[in-house]
Amino acid sequence: MTDTDADKLQALSRDEIHSETSNIAWSELQRFFAAGRAIYVSADLDLVEVALQVSNDNSDLVRQWMDKDKLAPVSDDQARYWIGTDATVWAVVVKPWVLVQDMKENQNEH
């Protein structure tokens, strides 16, 4: 496989992941949070890129993000805030995880 072929495969994966993202009410994701499967993605990261790296098991990069608190299990405080504000998050499933990004944070960053 050439580098170009690999780039095409990775681009296809990004496109596939992006097509599976959704704006969804946090309240719809409570069961994932309760099961410890909801993962917060910082607004300064690209949700699709994070999902791609998680799905490709890029543990070194994922660990770097975790060490910088840019990727972490959704905290109780964050979950309460999102419920209290009836928040909508941007989310994508990377089994067994649901990666979520606060849409308001994302809008404030850009």
Pairing of strands 88-94, 22-25: antiparallel
| C-beta of residue 15 within 8 angstroms of C-beta of residue 87 | no
Q: What is the pLDDT of residues 10-31, one digit of tens each?
A: 555 888 999 999 999 999 999 9
Identify whether the C-beta of residue 87 lies closer than 8 Å to the C-beta of residue 81: yes
pTM of this prediction? 0.84
Tens of pLDDT, residues 27-68: 999 999 999 999 999 999 999 999 999 999 999 999 999 999
Residues 6+ apart with CB under 8 A from 54: 62, 94, 97, 99
